[in-house]
Amino acid sequence: MVAHDNIHIPKESFPSWIWYVLEVTIVIVLSFALSFKVAEFFEVSPEVGNWIMAGTFGACFLVWYMIIRGLILKKKILRNKY
SS (H, E, C) 66-82: HHHHHHHCCCCCCCCCC
What percent of the chain lies above the pLDDT cut of 70?
73
With the CA atoms of 27, 29, 61 and 68 taken in that order, what torsion angle do they form, in degrees rounded to the nearest 10?
A: -30
Flag the least confident range among 15-24, 26-35, 58-67.
Answer: 15-24
pLDDT > 90? residue 79: no
pLDDT > 70? residue 81: no
Q: How many CA atoms lie within 13 A of 1 on its CB side?
A: 1
Residue type at position 55: G
Enter the pTM of the model.
0.67
pLDDT > 60? residue 12: no
pLDDT > 90? residue 69: no
Q: What would the DSSP string read from start to end of 11-31? A: HHHS-THHHHHHHHHHHHHHH
